[in-house]
Amino acid sequence: MSAATEMDDKVSGLRDHSSTEDLSEESVLIRDCPEFRDVEPTPQFEGHAPVASIAYSESFKDAHDYLRSLLKMGELSERALKLTEIALNINAANYTTWKYRRDILRHLGTNTLEEYDYIKMMIPDNAKTYQVWHHCQKILEWIGEPMDILEFIEEVLKQDSKNYHAWQLRQWVLLHFKFSGTAEEIAFVSKMIEDDVRNNSAWNHRYFVIHTLSEFTDAVFSAEIDYTISKIKLATNNESAWNYLRGTLAQKGQGLTHTEVEKLTELLYSRGCRSPQVLMFMADKLREDCEKADASDDIGEKVRLCSELYEVLANKWDKIRCRYWTYLSQEFSAEFGSRIGSNEKTEVAS
């Protein structure tokens, strides 16, 4: 490669770089704005050798040097508000800038509805940043009504159906504004589960709606068990559904015992299903039966079956967790091993 073409490459590389920077900036530097002519910028590093210092871009340094100055002066003004917007566009994870922005908004008494539109615009590009979601929550608190936030969250969840912050804000909104329309919320979450039966965030939300927002009646309990069973039949090793089932049963306080659930595991097992989730539930249920049994009850068969399940989980169906299954098996044997029929004792793996 000749020196000339090498140079060309470098220059065009630079040009590419600067043109993308121009696009992302969309505005001139603060130091060139007449509005800020009276402000002396405050650099981050003063007299110290910075370690692990970030190679900040010009626009980043420019905005934040001025922001530091205004913050130090405690200036609560329109131009400061504008500056926070520029800085947050560059780094939406700066909690100090967001707090400053709220201080300015409080002071100026700015239209909170406009701020609500602004934060909705900011969230999609920063959907994994704590601060944008928190700001949204604060603004809703100020407005005092939920606006169209539930629809907005639904839109965000279309992009990322497991976005933790989105589900978190949703729970907060439902609690804070004392939502009574749990039927609608159940319909929403059923649709989410319909879209992806393995979406654990949706299952968790269902649990929240059922147990925190509504009354957990016997009818609700039965309906939830039926619903979960129908979903387990679609994908028998779906941990989300099994966990939900366990959680729902636990709320009833009767352990893992339930006729319909027992029918389900029997059906699946007899059809040859060896999903670890199914075997795991069966083992836990047998163990629970043994724990509940009186000293005089004959639990030999249950002890044998449970030990066998632990054994096949450890050595065949769920080998990655072999230590865990061995641990449970050993604990179980220590407690119930002596209650197995004496003629069968030798068959059981320890």
235-264: contacts with other proteins (CB under 8 A): 235-240, 243-244, 246-248, 250-251
Minimum distance from residue 132 beta carbon to other proteins (Å): 11
Rg (C-alpha) for the chain, rounded Å, is 30
Which helix (DSSP H) or strand (DSSP E) does residue 164 occupy?
helix 164-176
- Among 10, 61, 99, 128, the active-site one is 128
Q: What one-character DSSP code corresponds to residue 162?
A: T
- Give the interface segment with other proteins, choosing from 7-15, 46-54, 182-190, 290-298 (CB under 8 A): 46-54
- Give the interface segment with other proteins, choosing from 109-117, 148-156, 183-191, 200-208 (CB under 8 A): 200-208
Q: What one-character DSSP code corresponds to residue 41?
A: P
Is residue 195 near other proteins by the rule CB under 8 A?
yes
Is residue 48 near other proteins by the rule CB under 8 A?
yes
Minimum distance from residue 289 beta carbon to other proteins (Å): 16
d(CA 248, CA 118): 40
Angle at 131 between CA 128 and CA 135, to 5 degrees: 120
Helix (H, G, I), strand (E, B) or coil at 335: helix
Is residue 339 near other proteins by the rule CB under 8 A?
no
Q: Among 1, 3, 4, 72, which residue sits at the site for other proteins (rule: CB under 8 A)?
A: 72
Write out the DSSP string of 259-277.
Answer: HHHHHHHHHHHHTT---HH
Helix (H, G, I), strand (E, B) or coil at 14: helix
Is residue 228 near other proteins by the rule CB under 8 A?
no
Q: Which two tokens stand for residue 247?
A: 């959680």
Minimum distance from residue 3 beta carbon to other proteins (Å): 28
CA 161 to chain centre: 9
Nearest residue (CB) to other proteins, 37 versus 72? 72
Minimum distance from residue 284 beta carbon to other proteins (Å): 9
Cβ contacts of 162 within 8 Å, gap of 6 or more? 199, 200, 201
Window 261 to 300, contacts with other proteins (CB under 8 A): 275
Window 106 to 135, contacts with other proteins (CB under 8 A): 130-131, 133-134
Task: Identify whether 128 is a catalytic site residue.
Answer: yes
Window 73 to 102, contacts with other proteins (CB under 8 A): 90-91, 93-96, 99, 102
Q: Is-contact 201 239, C-beta < 8 A?
A: no
Return the residue matching tokens 């009276």: 38
- Give the interface segment with other proteins, choosing from 37-45, 107-115, 222-230, 297-305 (CB under 8 A): 37-45
Is residue 164 near other proteins by the rule CB under 8 A?
yes
Is residue 57 near other proteins by the rule CB under 8 A?
yes
d(CA 281, CA 197): 19
Nearest residue (CB) to other proteins, 49 versus 295? 49
Q: Is 130 exposed, middle or buried (0-12, 13-18, 19+ CB in 10 A)?
A: middle
Per-residue contact track with other proteins, 173 to 192, x per CB under 8 A?
--------------------
- Give the interface segment with other proteins, choosing from 54-62, 176-184, 298-306, 338-346 (CB under 8 A): 54-62
Dihedral over Cα of 62, 67, 68, 70: its sign: positive
Q: Is 17 exposed, middle or buried (0-12, 13-18, 19+ CB in 10 A)?
A: exposed
Is residue 155 near other proteins by the rule CB under 8 A?
no
Q: Which two tokens stand for residue 85?
A: 């917007």
- 227 CB neighbour count, 10 Å cutoff: 18
Is residue 152 near other proteins by the rule CB under 8 A?
no
Q: Is-contact 264 282, C-beta < 8 A?
A: no
Is residue 321 near other proteins by the rule CB under 8 A?
yes
Is residue 68 near other proteins by the rule CB under 8 A?
yes
- Give the interface segment with other proteins, choosing from 29-37, 232-240, 254-262, 288-296 (CB under 8 A): 232-240
Q: Among 118, 142, 177, 207, which residue sits at the site for other proteins (rule: CB under 8 A)?
A: 207
Residues classed as catalytic: 128
